[in-house]
Homo-oligomer: A and B are copies of this chain.
Protein backbone atom coordinates (compact mmCIF):
# COMPACT_ATOMS: atom_id res chain seq x y z
CA UNK A 1 0.00 0.00 0.00
CA UNK A 2 2.02 2.93 -1.19
CA UNK A 3 -0.83 5.33 -1.70
CA UNK A 4 -2.79 5.08 1.51
CA UNK A 5 -2.76 8.87 1.67
CA UNK A 6 -5.06 9.36 -1.27
CA UNK A 7 -8.08 9.78 0.93
CA UNK A 8 -7.00 12.15 3.68
CA UNK A 9 -4.99 14.65 1.65
CA UNK A 10 -7.67 17.20 1.11
CA UNK A 11 -6.36 20.68 1.53
CA UNK A 12 -8.41 23.50 2.95
CA UNK A 13 -9.61 25.80 0.19
CA UNK A 14 -10.33 29.51 0.52
CA UNK A 15 -10.82 29.13 4.21
CA UNK A 16 -13.35 26.36 4.15
CA UNK A 17 -11.54 23.40 5.66
CA UNK A 18 -12.38 20.19 3.85
CA UNK A 19 -11.73 17.49 6.37
CA UNK A 20 -10.48 14.05 5.37
CA UNK A 21 -13.70 12.31 4.57
CA UNK A 22 -13.24 8.71 3.81
CA UNK A 23 -12.61 5.82 6.15
CA UNK A 24 -13.38 2.50 4.46
CA UNK A 25 -17.11 2.01 4.10
CA UNK A 26 -17.50 -1.69 4.80
CA UNK A 27 -14.70 -2.01 7.32
CA UNK A 28 -16.43 -0.46 10.29
CA UNK A 29 -19.64 1.40 11.01
CA UNK A 30 -19.16 5.11 10.48
CA UNK A 31 -18.81 7.21 13.58
CA UNK A 32 -21.06 10.22 13.95
CA UNK A 33 -18.28 12.61 12.92
CA UNK A 34 -17.16 10.57 9.94
CA UNK A 35 -20.74 10.27 8.76
CA UNK A 36 -21.30 13.99 9.10
CA UNK A 37 -18.26 14.87 7.00
CA UNK A 38 -18.90 12.27 4.33
CA UNK A 39 -22.62 12.98 4.19
CA UNK A 40 -21.87 16.64 3.53
CA UNK A 41 -20.17 15.70 0.28
CA UNK A 42 -22.82 13.21 -0.75
CA UNK A 43 -25.49 15.79 -0.03
CA UNK A 44 -23.71 18.29 -2.22
CA UNK A 45 -24.10 15.88 -5.13
CA UNK A 46 -27.59 14.90 -4.06
CA UNK A 47 -29.30 17.59 -6.09
CA UNK A 48 -29.92 17.10 -9.82
CA UNK A 49 -29.00 20.67 -10.70
CA UNK A 50 -25.78 20.53 -8.71
CA UNK A 51 -24.89 17.18 -10.22
CA UNK A 52 -25.40 18.56 -13.70
CA UNK A 53 -23.33 21.62 -12.92
CA UNK A 54 -20.59 19.50 -11.42
CA UNK A 55 -20.44 17.09 -14.33
CA UNK A 56 -20.51 20.05 -16.70
CA UNK A 57 -17.43 21.49 -15.04
CA UNK A 58 -15.73 18.11 -14.73
CA UNK A 59 -16.34 17.20 -18.33
CA UNK A 60 -15.18 20.57 -19.59
CA UNK A 61 -11.75 21.09 -21.06
CA UNK A 62 -9.17 20.74 -18.30
CA UNK A 63 -11.87 20.39 -15.67
CA UNK A 64 -12.44 24.12 -15.88
CA UNK A 65 -15.41 26.09 -17.10
CA UNK A 66 -16.85 29.58 -16.75
CA UNK A 67 -20.37 30.04 -15.48
CA UNK A 68 -21.59 31.21 -18.87
CA UNK A 69 -20.74 27.80 -20.33
CA UNK A 70 -22.60 25.70 -17.81
CA UNK A 71 -25.55 27.86 -16.79
CA UNK A 72 -27.95 26.11 -19.14
CA UNK A 73 -29.51 23.68 -16.72
CA UNK A 74 -33.08 24.97 -16.70
CA UNK A 75 -32.95 27.21 -13.65
CA UNK A 76 -32.36 30.92 -13.24
CA UNK A 77 -28.87 32.30 -13.00
CA UNK A 78 -29.10 33.22 -9.30
CA UNK A 79 -30.01 29.61 -8.63
CA UNK A 80 -26.98 28.47 -10.61
CA UNK A 81 -24.79 30.77 -8.57
CA UNK A 82 -26.35 29.46 -5.39
CA UNK A 83 -25.63 25.86 -6.29
CA UNK A 84 -22.08 26.61 -7.37
CA UNK A 85 -21.55 28.22 -4.00
CA UNK A 86 -22.83 25.10 -2.31
CA UNK A 87 -20.46 22.93 -4.31
CA UNK A 88 -17.61 25.24 -3.43
CA UNK A 89 -18.51 25.10 0.26
CA UNK A 90 -18.52 21.32 0.05
CA UNK A 91 -14.97 21.42 -1.28
CA UNK A 92 -15.87 19.90 -4.62
CA UNK A 93 -15.19 22.99 -6.71
CA UNK A 94 -12.87 25.98 -6.61
CA UNK A 95 -13.56 29.32 -8.28
CA UNK A 96 -11.26 31.89 -9.78
CA UNK A 97 -12.07 35.20 -11.40
CA UNK A 98 -10.15 35.94 -14.59
CA UNK A 99 -11.22 39.28 -15.99
CA UNK A 100 -14.90 39.38 -16.69
CA UNK A 101 -15.66 35.70 -16.19
CA UNK A 102 -15.45 33.40 -13.20
CA UNK A 103 -14.00 29.96 -13.79
CA UNK A 104 -14.84 26.88 -11.74
CA UNK A 105 -12.58 23.85 -11.43
CA UNK A 106 -13.02 20.41 -9.89
CA UNK A 107 -11.09 19.24 -6.85
CA UNK A 108 -9.63 15.91 -7.99
CA UNK A 109 -8.52 14.70 -4.56
CA UNK A 110 -12.01 14.87 -3.13
CA UNK A 111 -13.44 13.05 -6.09
CA UNK A 112 -10.82 10.33 -5.77
CA UNK A 113 -11.54 9.99 -2.09
CA UNK A 114 -15.25 9.46 -2.61
CA UNK A 115 -14.58 7.05 -5.46
CA UNK A 116 -12.25 4.92 -3.41
CA UNK A 117 -14.67 4.98 -0.52
CA UNK A 118 -17.29 3.29 -2.66
CA UNK A 119 -14.93 1.21 -4.78
CA UNK A 120 -13.21 -0.36 -1.82
CA UNK A 121 -16.60 -0.96 -0.33
CA UNK A 122 -17.89 -2.90 -3.30
CA UNK A 123 -14.63 -4.85 -3.51
CA UNK A 124 -15.04 -6.07 0.03
CA UNK A 125 -18.70 -6.90 -0.31
Chain A residues in the interface with B (C-beta under 8 A): 25-32, 35-36, 38-40, 42-52, 54-56, 58-59, 63, 70, 73-74, 106, 108, 111-112, 114-122, 125
Dominant SS at the A interface?
A: helix
Of the candidates B28, B55, B108, the one whose C-beta lies within 8 Å of that of A59 is: B28
Q: How many whole Å from A113's CB to the nearest CB in chain B?
A: 9
Q: How far is the CA of A121 from the CA of B55 in the complex (A)?
A: 9
- Contact at A35–B63, with CB atoms within 8 Å? no
Q: Which of B26, B36, B40, B58 contacts A55 (CB 8 A)?
A: B26
Chain B residue at smallest Cβ distance from A111: B122
Q: List 29 A-B contacts (CB under 8 A).
A: A27-B59, A29-B56, A29-B59, A30-B51, A31-B52, A32-B48, A35-B48, A35-B49, A35-B51, A35-B52, A38-B45, A38-B51, A39-B45, A39-B46, A39-B48, A42-B42, A42-B51, A43-B46, A45-B46, A58-B125, A63-B125, A108-B122, A111-B118, A114-B118, A115-B115, A115-B121, A115-B122, A118-B118, A119-B119
